[in-house]
Amino acid sequence: METVTETALVEVQPTESGHQIQLQTVDAITLPKVRNLNSVLFPVRYSGTFYKSLLLPGQFCQLAFLDDKCVGTIACRKQPLGFADTPASIMTGYQALQEPKYYEVYMMTLGVLAPYRRLGIGGLLLRNAVEFAAKDPNVRRVILHVQIDNDDALRFYHKSGFTTVRLVQRYYKNIEPPHAYLLEYRIR
């Protein structure tokens, strides 16, 4: 059983269903827990570079624990506003762009292990990400991509106040269907 370490910032928050969830900020010591959860939760395999990037400034990454068991995770990055609408051919060089005036928070992953879903853990992680984004007056929205056939995720995000912006053809590589919806939560 995985337990919460003493090294990262830990807080306890209740879910709407009354469960007490320990939320832990991800650091170098807890990063392997994120990798383990993601390997179970998602069909996409993320690179070592992806995991290292979670520790950079401007990132928001938390683990959720219920009864000392690691059951969920979220990872977001702050990026220039409109970056998700930028053609893929220039996405890799976005750090070299001029300092933008406005930003968006891109939710890269949000997942909860199947036995712990519908307990409010995902909603708690999502609310924390939105609060993280709202603290910065230059952040305009929280966005993410959802695979077009992931009806449960689409319902969850729509219920949480996200709207569908557009369909993105061939967003995913090596998984079917490859298409995704871009969703957003407007902050200001």
- Listing DSSP states for 141-164 in one string gives EEEEEEETT-HHHHHHHHHTT-EE
* Residue positions annotated with a catalytic role: 106, 145
CA distances from 146 to 10, 19, 20, 108 (A): 29, 27, 28, 10
Check if the beta carbon of residue 158 is closer than 8 Å to that of residue 146.
no
Cβ-count burial 73-99 (b if 16+ within 10 Å, e if not): bbbbbbbbbebbeeeeeeeeeeeeeee
Q: What is d(CA 80, CA 94) in angstroms, rounded to the nearest whole number?
A: 8
